[in-house]
Structures are given as structure tokens and as C-alpha cells.
Amino acid sequence: SQDELDEIYAFAIDLGRKAGDMLMERVEQRISGGNDPQTFEEKENAVDIVTQTDEDVEVFIRNAIQSKYPSHQFLGEETYAKGASRDYLIDEQPTWCIDPLDGTVNYTHIFPMFCVSIGFIVQHRPIIGVIYAPFQDQLFSACSGRGAWLNEKRRLPLLHNPIPPMPANAPSQCIFSCEWGKDRRDIPDGNMHRKIESFVNMAAEIGARDGKGGMVHGMRSLGSATLDLAYTAMGSFDIWWEGGCWEWDVAAGIAILLEAGGLVTTANPPENPDTAPIGDVRLGSRLYLAIRPAGPSATETGRESQ
């Protein structure tokens, strides 16, 4: 029921803030310690790293969830990495899907774009999302039917952007965002130059066809897939895509983006799109593409005519 969901939502917000405060305590310790050891361990390769903080914060979140909601399932990045998971990652059951520290590389370098990411999924659909970036004190949150919010007071998206969202404007005048990714088996830069090149070329090609100029406004790479989705929900990014994400990187962000009115698609759409609810997202994909919301007053201001 909506009452139950509201209770879960309030719990998730409180938990996100507490976990974010834990991250900041560690940052403060590292800053004031002077001699910052920057300790991390490698997982799959030299750019896939984990710190003690990831693990401690995940234990804190997992304990809190399991004592409050013992019947709910739990999927966390570090629990999974330690091999404690199931064959399938998400099923029909209510599942908490969390990344205790998204942007571990940023955290390690004390680049402020790191966050706690808490998603709640029912029947494959992320319906509650809480993302807290403690260095910037930015809390993104959403619950199905309750809107998407920044710091619980500003509704997302923040602005009606005069540039229509994709596909109407694909993709000239956009800020697009993509990441370096962690799978560098073949190419050390994770294919970044190819991603940029193909995007810019696509813009130019479409621009040549529709006479709109065909130039992107810019390209960003935050280092956190979770925050990429939150910034797309804000309307700051027009498009984000990444191959290689896991469920915990995207669950909370998808809940927030959908509630803000944005779109997200995966490489594994529902088996029967005709019967799936609008915005249904099957996690389990590694490839995601997100498009920002049109904005609250987009239809009144004549978006369709542009």
C-alpha cells in the first residue's frame, strides 16, 4: 500500500543520510590525518577498486535493512563481490539494491562526486531511490507517486530546459555524459575516445540533415553512474549512457529519473512491451541509456513545435 511505501521511503532517506555521514567521517579522518594512505584494493583489475569504507558502510546498511525488514531481499555491491549472492540477482520479490559508495575512485582521490545509493525494487521495477552525496550535501530521492526531489524541497527536474529532450533534438545542443568504465581488457582508456567520437559525429550528421547546427554543448564524466542518473533527473544532463553497469549502480537513479519524468532504456527490454507498465525497467542489463525529463512546463511552452 502507499502507506507502507511511504514508511519504507522515509526509512531509506534516513538510512541514506546516516550512511553518507559515515562516508564523510572517513573523509574527515583522511584529511585531518595529514599523511593520507589512500588505501584501496583491486578487484577485477587495476581500475576496479574497493576500500574498507565501501565494506563498512555496506555492513551498516545491510544490518539496518535486515533488522527493519527481515523478509526483504538484499543485494549490495560488496556482498555480491564476496560471492555471497544468488545465481539470479533480482527476482519478483521486494529487494533492496544498494551501492554503499558509488564513485569509489572519486572518494579515493577526494573528488566530491561520490555517494551512497539505495534502491528499492518490486517486481523488477525500482520504485524508491535515495542517493546522498555527502560532500556536497545533495540528497536525491523519489518514491513512486510522490515525485522526485533534491534535498526534499526542490522538485526534479529543476528547470524547464528550453532545448527539447531527445529524440526531438537528437543530439545537438546537448550535454551528454558517459563514463570510462572499469572493463579495460582490450583498450586501456575503456573506449572513451570512441564513445566521444561517435557521439559528436552523430550530432554532426543529424545537424547536417536538420540544419540545426549539429554541435553538442559538451560532454561530462562524473565518475559515478548513480550521480549521472541523478543529474539527468535534475535536467542538467540531456543524455547519459554506459555499458558495464551493475544493478546497484543504477537502481536508485532509475527510480528517481522515472519519477522525475525522464526515460531510461536497457539492452534487455521487457519480453512483452505491450503489456509492461510504462517505464518498466528490467534490471539485469549492463547497458543503459537515460534521457532527461522534458520539464514541468514543457508542453505549455510549445516543446512540440520546436
Q: Is 225 in the site for ligand IPD (CB under 6 A)?
A: yes
Instruction: Kindly tell me the burial class for residue 153, based on how many C-beta atoms sit within 10 Å of its own C-beta (0-12, 13-18, 19 or more).
Output: exposed
Find the shortest distance in angstroms from Cβ 158 to ligand IPD.
22
Q: Which of 94, 244, 284, 296 binds ligand IPD (CB under 6 A)?
A: 244
Find the shortest distance in angstroms from Cβ 96 to ligand IPD.
16
Q: Which of 181, 207, 214, 293 binds ligand IPD (CB under 6 A)?
A: 181
Q: Is 249 in the site for ligand IPD (CB under 6 A)?
A: yes
Helix, strand, or coil (residue 15): helix
Q: Is 182 in the site for ligand IPD (CB under 6 A)?
A: yes
Whichever of 55 and 102 has its CB closer to ligand IPD, that residue is 102
Q: Is 104 in the site for ligand IPD (CB under 6 A)?
A: yes
Q: Is 102 in the site for ligand IPD (CB under 6 A)?
A: yes
Find the shortest distance in angstroms from Cβ 122 to ligand IPD.
23
**Contact by Cβ (8 Å): 260, 157:** yes
For β-strands 73-76 and 95-102, DSSP reports them as parallel
Question: Considering only 28-36, 85-93, 202-210, 239-247, which stretch makes contact with ligand IPD by CB under 6 A?
Answer: 239-247
Q: Which of 55, 78, 99, 259 binds ligand IPD (CB under 6 A)?
A: 99
Find the shortest distance in angstroms from Cβ 28 to ligand IPD.
20
Question: Considering only 28-36, 56-64, 128-136, 219-227, which stretch makes contact with ligand IPD by CB under 6 A?
Answer: 219-227
Whichever of 127 and 225 has its CB closer to ligand IPD, that residue is 225
Find the shortest distance in angstroms from Cβ 115 to ligand IPD.
9
* Contacts for 117 with CB less than 8 Å, ≥ 6 apart: 98, 99, 102, 129, 130, 131, 226, 248, 249, 251, 252, 253
Find the shortest distance in angstroms from Cβ 68 to ligand IPD.
24
Q: Is 103 in the site for ligand IPD (CB under 6 A)?
A: yes
Find the shortest distance in angstroms from Cβ 164 to ligand IPD.
27
**Contact by Cβ (8 Å): 124, 147:** no
- 155 CB-side CA count, 13 A: 12
Q: E-assigned strands of the chain?
A: 41-42, 49-50, 73-76, 95-102, 115-122, 125-133, 138-143, 148-150, 154-155, 175-178, 218-220, 239-243, 263-266, 287-291
DSSP string, 109-154: HT-S--EEEEEEEETTEEEEEEEEETTTTEEEEEETTS-EEETTTE
Name the grid cell of 180. Answer: 570510462
Q: Is 138 in the site for ligand IPD (CB under 6 A)?
A: no
Find the shortest distance in angstroms from Cβ 102 to ligand IPD.
4
Name the grid cell of 202. Answer: 552523430
The residue whose grid cell reads 540533415 is 209
Residues near ligand IPD, by CB under 6 A: 77, 99, 102-104, 179, 181-182, 223-225, 242, 244-245, 249
